[in-house]
């Protein structure tokens, strides 16, 4: 059973997340030759002040 963990900045709409998980599920089924029912996707929404790149918080961009 593939379990896919995704970390995104918060703020995506339910429609965007729905389209994303459908596309990822389709790609996983095609690539790994598994059933859609076996694909779990966990979306972790992260606030910009909790994510940094190169020593700088994204909230400071």
Give pLDDT tens digits along the chain (61 positions): 899 999 999 999 999 999 999 999 999 999 999 999 999 999 999 999 999 999 999 999 7
**CA pair distance 17, 21, nearest whole angstrom:** 6
How is domain 3-60 classified at the CATH fold level?
A: Macrophage Migration Inhibitory Factor (3.30.429)
Task: State if pTM tops 0.85.
Answer: yes
* The predicted structure's pLDDT at residue 1: 87
Could you tell me whether strands 56-57 and 52-53 are parallel, antiparallel, or unpaired per DSSP bridges?
Answer: antiparallel
Q: Where are the domains of the chain?
A: 3-60
Establish whether 2 is a catalytic residue.
yes
* The predicted structure's pLDDT at residue 35: 98
Catalytic-role residue among 1, 2, 30, 52: 2
Query: Quick one: 37 exposed, middle or buried, by C-beta within 10 A (0-12, 13-18, 19+)?
Result: exposed
* The predicted structure's pLDDT at residue 54: 96
* The predicted structure's pLDDT at residue 21: 98
């Amino acid at each position: 059973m593939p379990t896919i963990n995704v970390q995104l900045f918060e703020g995506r709409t339910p429609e965007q997340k729905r389209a994303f998980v459908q596309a990822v599920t389709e790609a996983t089924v095609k690539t790994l030759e598994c059933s859609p029912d076996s694909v779990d996707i966990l979306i972790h929404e992260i606030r910009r002040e909790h994510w940094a790149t190169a020593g700088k918080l994204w909230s400071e961009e």
